[in-house]
Amino acid sequence: MGSQLKQWLINLGWTWSLLPGVIDVGLVLLLAYMILVIIGERRTLWMVRGLIILMLASALSSALGLRFLSFVLEKLVIGSAVAMALILQAEFRRLLEQIGRGEILQLFRPSQEAVPKPDSVIDEIVDAVKELSQNRTGALLILETDRPIDERDFSVPGVRLNAEVSKELLQTIFQTTTLLHDGAVLIRGSRVIAAGVILPISERTASRQLGTRHRAAMGITERVENCVCVVVSEETGSISLAERGTLHRPLTSSKLKDMLRERFSPSVEREVVLGRQLGARTAALLARLFQSKSSASREKK
CA distance 40 to 145: 10
Does residue 228 contact residue 196 with C-beta atoms inside 8 Å?
no
Residues 196 and 102 in one domain: no
Helix or strand run (H / E) with residue 219:
helix 212-223
Residues 260 and 202 in one domain: yes
Q: What is the pLDDT along the chain (301 residues), one digit of tens a residue?
A: 556 655 554 555 555 565 666 677 677 777 766 666 655 555 566 777 787 788 888 888 888 888 888 888 888 888 888 887 777 676 677 777 777 777 666 655 555 444 445 678 999 999 999 999 999 999 999 999 877 888 888 888 889 998 999 999 999 999 999 888 889 999 988 899 999 999 988 877 666 668 889 999 999 998 888 899 999 999 899 999 999 888 998 999 999 999 998 888 654 444 444 444 444 555 555 555 555 545 545 544 5
Does residue 40 contact residue 272 with C-beta atoms inside 8 Å?
yes
Torsion region of 189: left, alpha or beta (phi above 0 gives left; psi -120 to 50 gives alpha): left
Report the DSSP pairing between strands 139-144 and 184-188.
parallel
Q: Which domain holds residue 30?
A: 2-112+268-300
Residues 21 and 150 in one domain: no
CA distance 126 to 260: 9
pLDDT in the model for residue 269: 44
Residues 184 and 154 in one domain: yes
Other CB atoms within a 10 A radius of the CB of residue 283 amount to 15
From residue 148, give the alpha-carbon distance in Å to each of 94, 118, 240: 11, 17, 22
Residues 68 and 123 in one domain: no
Q: 145: domain CATH number?
A: 3.40.1700.10
Strands, sheet with 227-232, edge to edge from the N-terminal-most edge strand: 159-164, 191-197, 184-188, 139-144, 227-232, 239-243, 246-251
Residues 136 and 208 in one domain: yes
Number of H helices, E strands in the chain: 10, 7
Residues 93 and 197 in one domain: no
Residues 258 and 123 in one domain: yes
Question: How many structural domains does the chain have?
Answer: 2
pLDDT in the model for residue 142: 95
**Does the predicted model carry a pTM greater than 0.85?**
no
Residues 50 and 173 in one domain: no
Residues 168 and 252 in one domain: yes
CA distance 197 to 142: 9
pLDDT in the model for residue 159: 92
Angle at CA 299, nearest 5°, toward 294 and 301?
100
Does residue 151 contact residue 157 with C-beta atoms inside 8 Å?
yes
DSSP state for residue 274 in the 8-state scheme: H
CA distance 289 to 272: 27
